[in-house]
Every structure is written in structure tokens, then in C-alpha cells.
Amino acid sequence: MILHYLNTTEMSECEVEKRNVQWFEYEDPRSKRPDEHKLIFHPRARLDRDTTVIRLPSYEKVSKDKALYAHANRVLHLETNPGNARALVQKHGNLDVWLNPPPIPLTTPEMDFVFGLPYARLPHPSYNGVKIPAYDMIRFSVNIMRGCFGGCTFCSITEHEGRIIQSRSKESIIREVEEIRDKVPGFTGVISDLGGPTANMYRLACKDPKIEAACRKPACVYPDVCHNLNTDHAALKELYREARTLPGIKKILIGSGVRYDLAIKDPEYVKELVTHHVGGYLKIAPEHTESGPLSKMMKPGIGAYDEFKRRPPQPRAVAEETRLPRRPSAGVLPLTDGLRHHHVPHRQKPAAQSHLQERKGGNGEITGTAQAAQSVLALARPEKLAAAAQSDGRDGAAGTDRRWREPVDPALQGG
């Protein structure tokens, strides 16, 4: 088999030079001395992306050198656009690992065909009725799209679903909701999610397909939402409205994460979401409050979150799902001050302990993540939280646990 891709490591130096160099001469029009020579430039030719590959540093090198590892990861992120990505090759010992460019995204009819296949929607019989937590989480949910153009550096969605949004038609999604209603055992009328990798990227894409195919940016929303990105949520709002009016459907919740930097571009979407599709709390993840860590994550600054909170209409309740590092380092220590500013206690209990407390909190007490949520809302709703705050040992006005205050030097207390 003849491989049409160019692999420069298997060519002689002369052959590589012939392929990559265009020879031309330039003669300086100014007067020359007898000993001066003609200038000859060797500009590098523009290589065809369809017939070239990128050779990454070998596995042996990236496993020992953090800088090379970061470089290889950066190259991988840059080669995610199916319109211009190149194949990647990495040496592993005596073998080469070949990574094909991302495939061309599925069209809407192709997505409808895949999701319209006769799935059983039940675990395989070999499980013999064993409880499967992952199945319980998704059995009443509907996947409406694939892909994500967020480009977050800590996330692998782009690598396994692509950066181009691939959306199903509204008719295909409605059919699946009806199928869940009619066929899935235990359905009570509540759809747990209409979403995907992100709740509100359905049918969002670049305004110009040619620009999209040529773009080399790893993210469409960092450092700010691209001016070429269509942020109209009209198709998603129409889907929500039709799905919740289906016979036998009591409630449709949105369990996927909401990109609030996109949501603030369409305030009507926020109103639609919090009015009809939020089960008590709208959970969002600011990830961090400081610009340093956020820039490393390629996430929007905390200003986008503040703007989301200021946008009318205000949600009935907004719970911040703040993710803190297990072992804070010097680079993230300012997080404490940022959390105080946003009224979120910075001390977290272990996840397992918080989970157990949340499960035991059926008698109305504030436990687990609910305690953090109440602290967030203490300033917004002091009259409703005053009693709970006092009984829990917290100040009703600021929602700050007295046990979390920093010790005060007795010399500063005036005796």
C-alpha cells in the first residue's frame, strides 16, 4: 500500500529541501562593489495540509520532559478542527502511532438515523437485574447534541466528541421523549435532562462555514465569545416549549451544565430555563474566582458569572457548584478571598462525608452542598434564612459560619 502522506523522516536531506524550498534570486538594485555577491533567499513553501503529518515528540521524550508533554498536548488541541487538522504521528519505541485527523461531523439527518435505531433502552440481560447507578442516572434523559467548542484545557470532550456541534432535529428528540414515556419502565413523567456535553450549545455554530473550516483557535468562547459565533438560542427554546407540552410529561429538567457566558447573550433563554426547567436550584460551576487559574483552564473570568447573576430575571435560587483543589498550592491561595467576596465558605468537607450528610438530611436540616447554597443566598434572602442561620451558628446577614472566622489577635481586641 502506498501512503500518500509526506513523512520527512524517511527522506534524505536533499530531497526534503527540494520539497520544502522554492528557489529564487533577488538582486539588490543598488550599486555593488566587485566583491559583493547576489543574495539568494530560500523561503519555505506552504505545505498542503491534506498530504502532510505532524510528528509529535516521542513517547519516551514526553514521559520524561514536562515541557515536551505540554507541547505535544498543545499541538493535539490545535489539530481538532476537521476542516484543517492534520494527522499526528508519535514514535513509541520502534513503532509509530498514527492518529487520524478528526472525522467530518455528522449531519442532522445522520444524527437522527443513529439515535433512531431500535435501542432497547435497558441494561443487557447478562446483568441479571443488578442495580447500575450509571443507568439510573441517564435512563430518563435525552441526548440532543454532540461536541463542544469550549476548548477547556482540563476536558477531553473535544477529543472524543469533536469541537463542531452536531445536533439532532427537533422531531427526532420529541420522538425519543415519547418513546421514553411509552416504553421505559418506571417512568413517572419527569425527563431528567435534555442536553449533552453542554446544555445550551444546541445548534450553535460559526456564522460562516468557510471561516469555521479555516479557524485554528482551540476555543470559540475564550478569552471571549467569538464575534463569528451564532449565540441565538431560539431553536433550543422552541424545543423546550414543545417537549414540555407533550401528553404525559409532567416536567422536563435540564441536568447538563449551562455555559453562562453564552446564556447571557440570550436573556430570554435564561428566563425560559429558570421558569420551567429548573428543579429548585440552578447549578452552575464558576470553577474558580481568580483570573490566573481560570486562564490556565481557558474558562471565562469571574466577571461573566457576576454579569449572569445581575441579569434579570433573577433565578429563584442559584447554587454555586464551586470546585476547590484538594491540595491548594501557592498559585491558587487567593481563592479564599474570592470566595468570601462571593459569599461561599471556602472550607469543604470530604466528598464522601458531604454525600452521606446530604442523604441523611431528610428532616429539613441544612446539610452537605445545601449548606453552601444557603450561604450563597444569605445576602439575597436574609429574612428567610435568619432563623436557620442563627440556629446553625451563623450570622443571618452575611451567612458566615462563626467557626470559619480567622482567629483574632487578643492585642487587637482592646483588652
The answer to whether residues 174 and 276 belong to one domain is yes
Question: Which residues, in sequence order, are bridge partners of residue 320?
Answer: 284
The answer to whether residues 180 and 328 belong to one domain is yes
The answer to whether residues 115 and 157 belong to one domain is yes
The answer to whether residues 391 and 268 belong to one domain is no
pLDDT tens digits, 226-254: 999 999 999 999 999 999 999 999 999 99
Give the distance, in angstroms, between the CA of residue 109 and the centroid of all CA atoms in the same chain: 25
The answer to whether residues 222 and 303 belong to one domain is yes
Q: What grid cell was written down for 173?
A: 428528540
pLDDT tens digits, 69-78: 999 999 999 9
The answer to whether residues 75 and 37 belong to one domain is yes
Boundary residue ending a domain (339, 359, 392): 339
| pLDDT at residue 41 tops 80 | no
Domain-located, residue 2: no
Domain-located, residue 259: yes
| pLDDT at residue 345 tops 70 | no
Q: Provide the residue range defining the domain that includes 88.
A: 8-99
| pLDDT at residue 338 tops 60 | no
pLDDT at residue 304 in the model: 87
pLDDT tens digits, 165-195: 999 999 999 999 999 999 999 999 999 999 9
User: How large is the angle between the packed helices 170-183 and 108-115, nearest 10 degrees?
Assistant: 10
pLDDT at residue 32 in the model: 59
Domain-located, residue 1: no
Boundary residue ending a domain (339, 356, 377): 339
Residue 28 or 133, more confident: 133
pLDDT tens digits, 268-301: 999 999 999 988 777 777 788 888 899 999 998 8
The answer to whether residues 54 and 198 belong to one domain is no
Domain count, the chain: 3
The answer to whether residues 124 and 247 belong to one domain is yes
Which whole number is the average pLDDT over 144-162?
Answer: 92
Q: pTM surpassing 0.85?
A: no
The answer to whether residues 262 and 280 belong to one domain is yes
Assign 42 a pLDDT band (cuts: 50, 70, 90). Answer: low
Q: What angle do CA 376, 377, 381 make, to 5 degrees?
A: 160
Domain-located, residue 32: yes
Q: How far apart are CA 52 and CA 89, in angstroms?
A: 11
The answer to whether residues 135 and 204 belong to one domain is yes
Residue 40 or 113, more confident: 113
Q: What grid cell was written down for 364?
A: 429539613
Asked which of 35-49, 119-133, 289-303, 355-369 is least confident by mean pLDDT, the reply is: 355-369
| pLDDT at residue 349 tops 60 | no
pLDDT at residue 65 in the model: 94
Domain-located, residue 166: yes
The answer to whether residues 231 and 149 belong to one domain is yes
Boundary residue ending a domain (77, 99, 121): 99
CATH of the domain at 240: 3.30.750.210
| pLDDT at residue 99 tops 90 | yes
The answer to whether residues 85 and 154 belong to one domain is no
| pLDDT at residue 53 tops 80 | yes
Domain-located, residue 3: no
Domain-located, residue 129: yes
- The b-or-e profile of 86-97 (16+ CB within 10 A means b, else e) is bbbbbbeeeeee
Domain-located, residue 395: yes
Q: Kind of pairing, strands 190-191 and 251-252?
A: parallel
